[in-house]
Amino acid sequence: MRLVLRIGLSLIAMLSPVWCIQQVSVRRPDVRVTDSKFDIGIIGSGIAGGALAAALRDSGLRVLLLDRRDGPLDTSRGDHIQPAVQPLLARWGVLDRLLAAGAERRAGTRWFDANGKHIVTVPVPDESGAARAFLFLNHEEIGRVLLDTALESGAASVTGVSEWSLTSSAGQWTIDWQVGGQANSATCTLLVAADGTASSVRSRLEIDVEKHRYQFPIAVLYGRQLGVSSERTLDVHLTPERMVSLIPRVGGETKVGFPISAEELGFWKREKEEVLHRQLALWCPGVAFDSLRFGAVYPPVAQQSKPYQGKGAVVLLGDARHAMHPARSMGMNTCFRVADQLAIALTALNPGFTQAQVLPVLAEFEAEFDRDLTPRLAENHAAGLQMDTITGNGFPDLANQLRAVAADERLLHGMALKAAGLSG
């Protein structure tokens, strides 16, 4: 059953284009930076930067976030939160805010074979210390809630940054930037790079990265599926050609994700809606949509950055540190785990901490990362390689393994624990 356990339960938790800097929509004007000294400067106020700032909300540490964004986050990216991660978000004061923002609950994942026949439903396990359902909310709303939480707790945020530079001296980083032609500057002791897969911080500081680009990009469609139960599930169809995931969206919508070849791009971008309906009906027998539209195409990438080895205190977070293939919906959830791990380590420090005090904390954080998360990244990459195909021929081996899981409660429970984030 190794293949099943590697693949996990969902095909898509959309990655942003590799050139896209994470963005988030804020419902109030940015906080004016009246202070010029901060403990932590975070480059990138998307999911990763917002998560760390929210996790630090009761620490008393002075946090500055800088971002080039001037609009909402990319809504096609991951938007499902594992049961194991929800207690963590509750500690940050974020979980209730997500529910108030319209987050919805979903049950487990259903798998279907190439003929549209149901193979197995992987439930949400009933385990202490975890929620009894997944949560899903549009990606841009998750980012907004995280950043709002951080700002209300005293973090400072600057967006619309057009130019910025870094210098290091005497145990401090100096960040100079421009917004609308006006220059500003601040210092921080710890620099956090949370600026996405194509991290500018990583490039400027010449931090090494191991990268793998998969052969087939992921196409995203949006629509309103007919006959959807009130108990939403994530449905994966092992079609004759490729895996197709039907992913619940708030308000009764569905996000459809599947790999495509470069030659198919024009078809999905330009064909009429009724043609898209017919193709999905061929792939997913019994599934129909009231409406369907093309969303985007994303090139998935797996990468893992090396720890910073230069002068000064620097740590990479989120996609800047560990971009992941969307094969197992682990990207955002892993980001939350790592942000929490880093925040817990940093809260041991007092406001005004020095470089000498924070460097041992970062060393321990990196050691824990290698011990706990590097195996997860390797497993996710293996799942990405297995799913990087448009010639699955119905995936008969996987379908047979899933049937074996359906017949064995122990295997089914193990798969449920993995999907919920309760096992490695």
For 113-181, where are the E strands, in sequence order? Answer: 118-122, 134-136, 156-158, 161-169, 172-179
pLDDT of residue 34: 58
**Do both 184 and 200 map to the same domain?**
yes
For residue 311, being part of any structural domain is answered with yes
- Residue 98: domain span: 37-104+135-213+302-383
Residue 161 is predicted with a pLDDT of 94
* CATH code (residue 86): 3.50.50.60
Residue given tokens 């490695």 in the structure block: 424
* Predicted pLDDT at 12: 32
- 247 and 222 belong to one structural domain: yes
Greatest CA separation for the chain:
66
Domain check: are 346 and 279 in the same one? Answer: no
Same domain, 349 and 229: no
Q: Which helix (H) or strand (E) holds 354?
A: none
Mark whether 55 and 204 lie in a shared domain: yes
User: What is the chain's pLDDT, residue by residue, as a tens digit (424 residues)?
Assistant: 333 333 333 333 333 332 222 333 333 344 455 568 999 999 999 999 999 999 999 999 999 999 998 776 766 677 899 999 999 999 999 999 999 999 999 999 999 999 999 999 999 999 999 999 999 999 999 999 999 999 999 999 999 999 999 999 999 999 999 998 899 999 999 999 999 999 999 999 999 999 999 999 999 999 999 999 889 999 999 999 899 999 999 999 999 999 999 999 999 999 999 999 999 999 999 999 999 999 999 899 999 999 999 999 999 999 999 999 887 778 899 999 999 999 999 999 999 999 999 999 999 999 998 888 888 888 888 888 878 999 988 899 999 999 999 999 999 999 999 999 998 6
Quick check: is 26 in a domain? no
Instruction: Please name the amino acid found at residue 13.
Output: A
Same domain, 139 and 209: yes
pLDDT of amino acid 76 = 62
Strand partners, 259: 218
Same domain, 184 and 316: yes
* 28 found inside a domain: no
Same domain for 141 and 66, yes or no, is yes
Cα atoms in the Cβ-side hemisphere of radius 13 Å centred on 147: 33
User: Does some domain include residue 340?
Assistant: yes
Q: For the stretch 390-405, what's the b/e string if a residue is b when 16 or more beta carbons lie within 10 angstroms of its beta carbon?
A: eebeebeebbebbeeb
- As a whole number of angstroms, the distance between CA 49 and CA 125 comes to 30
pTM of the model: 0.90
Tokens of 240: 């004759």
Identify the CATH number of the domain in which residue 230 sits.
Answer: 3.30.9.10
Whether 85 and 163 map to the same domain: the answer is: yes
Calpha distance 44→56 (Å, rounded) = 16
Q: Same structural domain for residues 219 and 273? A: yes
CA dihedral (257, 258, 260, 266) in degrees, to 10, reads -40
